[in-house]
């Protein structure tokens, strides 16, 4: 078979729907999609393209030096498991009984106001999430989160969004440049660090993860018109949309190009 010549044509066109209302809805873009067809038949909507997640790495404080930054081993990387939208692998066993000194590091292409967290296996321990970010003075700073994944006092107990006011002093940096562990990912991006005040349950898994936009100046899109959108996957990883009033259902077709 001859290799694809780029720009290549479409190879697959899977579709799905997104329920819209006056409450913000968001959806991670499948990793193979480089174009999208968007159609909302009954209501005008506003939409933003959200930053991409560049990398995810788990830090296990109980491991020996040089082996504390790890992936869960079930697939190529935690990043692929969390954003592929095709499997239920997610974080796998990485967050099982996650201790207070452990972290889940997440790199993004731009500053974000939180993450949408799809739970694969819920936490039942009364743990409270704490996010920190790397700021311009090269220190870690705390965020004030609203935790939509909490239920009955337990964070990561249900699918939801963890949100905060986007900081204006976040630093774009490589984690390897600021820690001594040479097994940290050498990715340059904005770094968000998830931790908990007590250990999580014995079986806890995030299935999918995507970003929420720091901006609210969403573009205007009209009802009954199909929009063809090309996606810069170096910078775009999710969409978010909202209605001024009422409810409707957006129809999305993801376009996978040949060879991807």
- 78 with 206: CB under 8 angstroms? no
179 in the same domain as 225: no
Q: How many CA atoms within 13 Å lie on the side-chain side of 58?
A: 25
Is residue 4 domain-resident?
no
| pLDDT averaged per 10 residues in sequence order, the chain, 260 residues | 56 94 97 94 98 95 88 67 84 94 97 97 98 97 98 98 98 92 90 98 97 98 97 96 97 85
pLDDT recorded at residue 16: 96
pLDDT recorded at residue 2: 44
CATH number at residue 15: 2.60.120.10
242 in the same domain as 191: no
Which one-letter DSSP state was computed for residue 151?
A: B
184 in the same domain as 152: yes
CATH number at residue 140: 2.60.120
137 in the same domain as 44: no
Closest residue by Cα to residue 106 from 42, 55, 61, 173: 55
Sequence-separated (6 or more) residues with CB below 8 Å from residue 127: 154, 155, 156, 196, 197, 198, 199, 200
Q: Distance (Å, rounded) from C-alpha 118 to C-alpha 81?
A: 12
pLDDT recorded at residue 70: 82
Is residue 218 domain-resident?
yes
Q: Which residue range(s) make up the domain with 94?
A: 52-211
Is residue 5 domain-resident?
no
57 in the same domain as 45: no
89 in the same domain as 205: yes
Q: Which two tokens stand for residue 201?
A: 């349950």
45 in the same domain as 171: no
């Amino acid at each position: 078979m001859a290799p694809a010549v780029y720009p290549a044509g479409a190879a697959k066109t899977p579709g799905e729907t997104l329920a819209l209302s006056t409450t913000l809805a968001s959806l991670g873009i499948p990793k193979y999609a480089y174009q999208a067809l968007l159609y909302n038949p009954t209501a005008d909507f506003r939409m933003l393209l959200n930053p991409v997640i560049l990398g995810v790495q788990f830090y296990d404080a109980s491991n020996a030096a040089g082996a504390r930054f790890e992936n869960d081993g079930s697939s190529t990387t935690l990043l692929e498991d969390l954003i592929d939208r095709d499997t239920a692998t997610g974080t796998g066993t990485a967050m099982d009984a996650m201790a207070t000194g452990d972290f889940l590091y997440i790199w993004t292409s731009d500053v974000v106001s939180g993450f949408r967290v799809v739970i694969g296996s819920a936490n039942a321990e009364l743990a409270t999430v704490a996010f920190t970010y790397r700021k311009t003075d090269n220190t870690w700073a705390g965020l004030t989160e609203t935790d939509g994944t909490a239920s009955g006092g337990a964070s990561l107990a249900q699918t939801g969004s963890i949100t905060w006011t986007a900081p204006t002093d976040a630093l774009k940096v490589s984690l390897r440049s600021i820690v001594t562990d040479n097994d940290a990912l050498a990715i340059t991006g904005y770094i968000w660090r998830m931790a908990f005040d007590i250990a999580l349950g014995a079986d806890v898994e995030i299935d999918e993860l995507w970003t929420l936009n720091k901006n609210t100046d969403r573009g205007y899109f009209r009802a009954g018109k199909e929009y063809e959108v090309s996606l810069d996957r170096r910078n775009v990883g999710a969409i978010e949309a909202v209605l001024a009033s009422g409810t409707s259902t957006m129809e999305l077709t993801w376009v996978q190009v040949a060879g991807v």
